[in-house]
Amino acid sequence: MSGVKQISVKGDEDGMRLDRWFKVHFPQVSHGRLSKLLRTGQVRVDGGRVKANERLLPGQTIRVPPINLDAAANQDGPAKPKPLSAHDKALFHSLVLFEDKHLYVLNKPSGLAVQGGSRTTRHIDGLLQGMAAELYDRPRLVHRLDRDTSGVLVIAKTRSMATALGKLFQTRSVRKIYWALVSGVPRPEQGVIDKPLVKAGGPGEEKVQIAKNMKQDGAQKAMTHYAVIDKAPPSVAWVSLKPVTGRQHQLRVHMQMIDHPIIGDPKYGSLEHDGSGEEKDEGFAHKLHLHARRVTFPHPKGGTVDVTAPVPGHMRESMVTCGFDPEQYDVPEAGEEYDT
């Protein structure tokens, strides 16, 4: 059909929802109109029918019908973005750990989503859209963290920087270190978890599980290095986690797989709660104890970016309860002996 566009998903759009992708590339297409286009099969991914909450993978092809998109063909957001409120602007700047003219590194708090959804009104991507009103270009996500995971999050200020950083994040050039408190003490205390993952569950119930093998439909390679930093046997260990790949829920599923789930994980953990959000189990706040502690990567414009995020309050409290020192830095990081 004349006017139909076939657009490839970029590397820095890995894991982005299809409805969010449309909002970024074609902001004048309303959610209702997109739903109709999907329902009638006019929008497809790799030739197949999908739903608005479909998570995209780099290299996939999105079929976009001829719907008067020329005005937005070279646009990466609304023509006139709404500026952030004073409160949201202050919130955004309070999260900045590092900034230069090309990128930000934020300290994302636990509970703040990176991207929006049907029941999410405040999220990092929305703050970035508002930042476009005062910047030359719209800042873009380079990678993602789960809503309940805290810590370092890299943001590109321009499309070209997003492309450059996206390529880095697809290689071993980016070193990411996470800290977590897990149930029990892993044996051995340092190792590698190399198990592919596959998505499961329907809308609103999305989960990730271990795939039978790489031949299973939808399976993605996933590898994590882990190392015990300190322990309070037999119940708790403080571990350093280094993901070689960056799959959705990778660290949470891998730790569950070796029978040491991350404390406070409502989806893959062992702790139970009543939904109040305030209950504690064995003295720990019922919040995910997973923190993106540090990111290190070569700056595309030269030099090295090396940023560490402070431990969030709920994790610090739990660590002190266990007798751990949250200020301890000089410890072997996960996977160091395996680096090449």
- The closest of 41, 63, 59, 66 to 51, measured between CA atoms, is 41
Give 173's contacts (C-beta < 8 A, 6+ positions apart): 297, 298
Q: CA 191 to CA 189: how far, in whole Å?
A: 7
Tell me the Cα Rg of the chain. Answer: 21
C-alpha torsion angle, residues 327, 330, 336, 340 (rounded to 10): 120
Q: CA 306 to CA 90: how far, in whole Å?
A: 24
Burial degree of 315 (CB within 10 A; 0-12, 13-18, 19+): buried
Q: Which residues are catalytic?
A: 146
Q: Is the dihedral of CA 290, 295, 300, 301 positive or negative?
A: positive
Q: Which is it for strands 236-243 and 103-108: parallel, antiparallel or unpaired?
A: unpaired
- Please, are residues 167 and 238 in contact by the beta-carbon 8 Å criterion? no
Q: CA 261 to CA 281: how far, in whole Å?
A: 14
Q: Which helix (H) or strand (E) holds 190?
A: strand 190-194
Query: CA angle 37-42-45, nearest 5°?
Result: 105
